[in-house]
Amino acid sequence: QKEVEQNSGPLSVPEGAIASLNCTYSDRGSQSFFWYRQYSGKSPELIMFIYSNGDKEDGRFTAQLNKASQYVSLLIRDSQPSDSATYLCAVWRGSYIPTFGRGTSLIVHP
Amino acid sequence: NAGVTQTPKFQVLKTGQSMTLQCAQDMNHNSMYWYRQDPGMGLRLIYYSASEGTTDKGEVPNGYNVSRLNKREFSLRLESAAPSQTSVYFCASSVEGYEQYFGPGTRLTVT
């Protein structure tokens, strides 16, 4: 069974620190990797996507992919209280169905 | 450009009642999805439609039916609601293999 694993948290970091969120996946054929942010009571929204090994940066966010070790991570630099949310990792294998992790709750405290 | 819209936003049903959740997207996406989200369970796929005219079961299809009415619209029907179907329901659409766009969700309570 294809699985995507995330630590449920909560991960608590002080304002201004780097938050590191991790996701591991079991299917070596996975091709596309996505990070979504979900505020309480709201729907998920895309933060980052990555297809190739290495790092991809977008503002304060960096996605890191290591296919050999089957993990993808999301770094949030200069964390702000407004970053407090649940972060969902999603993995596609090239079929029509992505597999989602259960999400990691992030709390950024002032 | 509204993205993905869902109706209703909230609904309370009694056990055994039926209802249809509506979803529409204006992004010309081929693929559409219905998920339910329960505390601690993440997003679980109920049904999906890879293209107009096709539908397939996801992880938790029992108790639900779907209709892909046209490329824009994908509805989810509960024929006989049960308390176990109390959840938040999200519709999503995408180009295959790319990011999904989610609707605002429907909060359903079955008493």
Q: Are B73 and B21 in contact (CB under 8 A)?
A: no
- Could you give the CA distance from residue A45 to residue A10 in angstroms, rounded to a whole number? 19
In chain B, which residues touch A (CB < 8 A)? 31, 40-43, 45, 48, 50, 56, 58, 90, 96-105
Residue B8: predicted pLDDT: 97
Size of interface A-B (CB pairs under 8 A): 44
> Which of A96, A100, A102, A104 to probe the B interface (max B CBs under 10 A)?
A96
Q: Are B32 and B74 in contact (CB under 8 A)?
A: yes
> Nearest residue on chain B to A9, judged by CA atoms?
B40
Name residue, tokens 């405290």: A109
Q: Is the pLDDT of residue A108 over 70?
A: yes
Residue A2: predicted pLDDT: 65
Looking at residue A69, the DSSP 8-state letter turns out to be T
Beta bridge partners of A38: A86
List the single residue in B42, B97, B99 with the smallest CB-CB distance to A101.
B42
Contact A96 B50 (CB under 8 A): yes
Name residue, tokens 């679980």: B44
- Could you give the CA distance from residue A56 to residue A68 in angstroms, rounded to a whole number? 17
How many other CB atoms are found less than 10 A from the CB of residue B25?
23
> For every one of its 111 residues, what pLDDT tens digit does chain B have, with 9 covering 90 and above?
689 999 999 999 999 999 999 999 999 999 999 999 998 888 999 999 999 999 999 999 999 999 998 999 999 999 999 999 999 999 999 987 788 999 999 999 999
Contact B98 A45 (CB under 8 A): no
Looking at residue B85, the DSSP 8-state letter turns out to be G
> Nearest residue on chain B to A30, judged by CA atoms?
B97
How would residue A1 be classed by pLDDT, with cut points 50, 70 and 90? low
List the single residue in B43, B99, B105 with the smallest CB-CB distance to A100.
B43
Q: Are B79 and B66 in contact (CB under 8 A)?
A: no
Nearest to A36 by CA among B43, B22, B23: B43
Contact A92 B97 (CB under 8 A): yes
> Which of B91, B99, B106 to probe the A interface (max A CBs under 10 A)?
B99
What does the pLDDT look like over A18-76, one tens digit per residue? 999 999 999 998 999 999 999 999 999 999 999 999 999 999 999 999 999 999 999 99
List the single residue in B31, B42, B98 with the smallest CB-CB distance to A102.
B42
Residue B96: predicted pLDDT: 78
